[in-house]
Amino acid sequence: MPKAYLILENGTVFEGDAFGYEGEAMGELVFSTGMTGYLETLTDPSYYGQIVIQTFPLIGNYGVIPADFESGGFHIKGYIVRQWCQEPSNFRSEGNLDTFLRLHKIPGLCNIDTRALTRIVRERGVMNAVISRKPALTDAEWAALKGYTIEGAVDNMTTKARYELRPEGQERFHVALWDFGAKQSIARELQERGCRVTVLPAGTKAEEVLALRPDGIMLSNGPGDPAKNMGVVEELRKVCVHKIPTFGICLGHQLLALSQGAKTRKLHYGHRGANQPALETATGRVFITSQNHGYAVINESLPEHAEVSFINANDHTCEGIDYKNMPAFSVQFHPEACAGPLDTRWLFDRFITLMEEAKAHAAQ
């Protein structure tokens, strides 16, 4: 394999071996701690514009399984692993990781010390990086690296047109899924619970959402800085006045909070992986969750009609909010958990209960 280099914004250079697509890549450098789920990571829209480090040392051992993809596209800028498996073993596998990365033009880098690299990101915070075929950058390349920002993330990841998904069995509810870069597994969880799902582009106006007369509104995950989506926030604020049962996940959680007057901030290195502890404030119970976010809602900024329902057991950042002025709640983690533990899928059932209660109240 040819040599390649990872050059960090702080000047650190790692030498490794190139695999996957024969090209260079620039992006925001982040790490994911999941032991499994590399296919979901590669296809998760929330990783748009980022170079991902996998902290688990062996990646690719169960091959490429299209049925596990979280979207129809491939959104990361580059992929860094300690070692990739050249001979995967799984009855569902339809190929190997190297071929997959080549096909979808994702440069990879292996045989570097990912533990040392992850420690740098943990201590110094998220930074920009470039995967390059040469160990040094020109002045112009350094300027481009330091000036790199992720722009238009939600606009690039949302669906371009409205579409509908139907449940296999009896239809119980109609849910409007506001797509900010949604993982496919969110709609799948709703369909399994008897929901017809209308998926809407991020730029959908409040009047269009209300015209659907949905039983509930799902606010999806997505990439980037939530504060760069104030147009969406304003439309969401208009919808919230109508008190339709609402459930927000990840970016949807942040946008809902912003619509109610809260504020967000960028985390030092974010939470990414399938082993993040979320503590439920009402019970003290800790759930192990799947997460992928670089921003958080500021606890102290919440309005009086909102209260923190979950906190991260490691750094005490906001992981969930319940709203007292409307039938709405949100979580920072991924209860659909693909890949990850199944601890919090009951939150989808809670959403179903909110819609049941709203229908019962309307019938009185």
The domain ranges of the chain are: 3-150, 154-363
CA 42 to chain centre: 11
Token duo for residue 227:
């504060």
CB-based contact 221:336 (threshold 8 Å): no
pLDDT score, position 173: 97
User: Which pLDDT tens digit goes with each residue over 124-179?
Assistant: 999 999 999 999 999 999 999 999 999 999 999 999 999 999 998 899 999 999 99
Task: Give yes or no: 305 in active site.
Answer: no
What percent helix, strand, coil does the chain show, rounded to 5?
30, 30, 40
Q: pTM (2 decimals)?
A: 0.95
Q: For residues 233-237, give the mean pLDDT.
A: 98
Give CA–CA dist 272/293, Å, rounded. Answer: 6
Radius of gyration over every alpha carbon of the chain, rounded to an integer in angstroms: 21
Task: Give yes or no: 195 in active site.
Answer: no
Residue with tokens 């580059």: 78
Task: Give yes or no: 240 in active site.
Answer: no
CB-based contact 338:186 (threshold 8 Å): no
Closest CA to 212 of 163, 276, 285: 163
Cα 293-298-301 angle, rounded to 5 deg? 150
Q: For residues 40-45, give the mean pLDDT.
A: 93
Q: For residues 5-28, give the mean pLDDT.
A: 96
Q: Which of 75, 253, 271, 334 is catalytic?
A: 334
Q: Lowest mean pLDDT: which of 312-326, 331-345, 347-361?
A: 331-345
Give CA–CA dist 104/231, Å, rounded. Answer: 32
Phi/psi at 23 (5° precision): -160, -175
Contacts of residue 336, Cβ cutoff 8 Å, sequence gap at least 6: 183, 185, 186, 188, 189, 249, 345, 348
Cα 125-128-133 angle, rounded to 5 deg? 130
Helix runs in 180-265, H state only: 184-192, 206-211, 230-240, 251-259
Q: Is the pLDDT of residue 16 over 80?
A: yes
Closest CA to 302 of 267, 330, 260: 260
Same fold, 3-150 and 154-363: no
Cα 70-72-73 angle, rounded to 5 deg? 95
User: Which pLDDT tens digit goes with each residue over 291-317?
Assistant: 999 999 999 999 999 999 999 999 999
Instruction: Domain 154-363: give its CATH code.
Output: 3.40.50.880
pLDDT score, position 36: 87
The proportion of the chain whose per-residue pLDDT surpasses 90, expressed as a percent, equals 92
Give CA–CA dist 81/110, Å, rounded. Answer: 5
Q: Is the pLDDT of residue 339 over 80?
A: no
HSE value, Cβ hemisphere, 13 Å, CA-based, for 155: 7
| Bridge partners of residue 131, in order along the sequence | 6, 25
List the beta strands (DSSP E) in the chain. Answer: 3-8, 13-20, 25-32, 50-54, 58-59, 78-80, 83-84, 107-110, 127-132, 163-165, 173-178, 195-200, 216-219, 246-249, 264-280, 286-297, 306-312, 318-323, 328-331
Q: For residues 260-285, give the mean pLDDT.
A: 95
Higher pLDDT, 337 or 214: 214
CA distances from 316 to 197, 277, 329 (A): 34, 10, 19
User: Which pLDDT tens digit goes with each residue over 46-93?
Assistant: 999 999 999 999 999 999 999 999 988 788 999 999 999 989 999 999
pLDDT score, position 278: 97
Give CA–CA dist 162/228, Å, rounded. Answer: 23
Burial zone of 207 (CB within 10 Å; 0-12 exposed, 13-18 middle, 19+ buried): exposed
Q: What CATH class is the domain 3-150?
A: alpha beta
Q: Which of 28, 40, 70, 336 is catalytic?
A: 336
pLDDT score, position 164: 97
Residue 362 pLDDT grade (very low, low, confident, very high; cuts 50, 70, 90): confident
| Bridge partners of residue 287, in order along the sequence | 278
Higher pLDDT, 341 or 265: 265
Give CA–CA dist 106/25, Å, rounded. Answer: 8
Q: Which of 250, 271, 319, 338 is catalytic?
A: 250
pLDDT score, position 338: 75
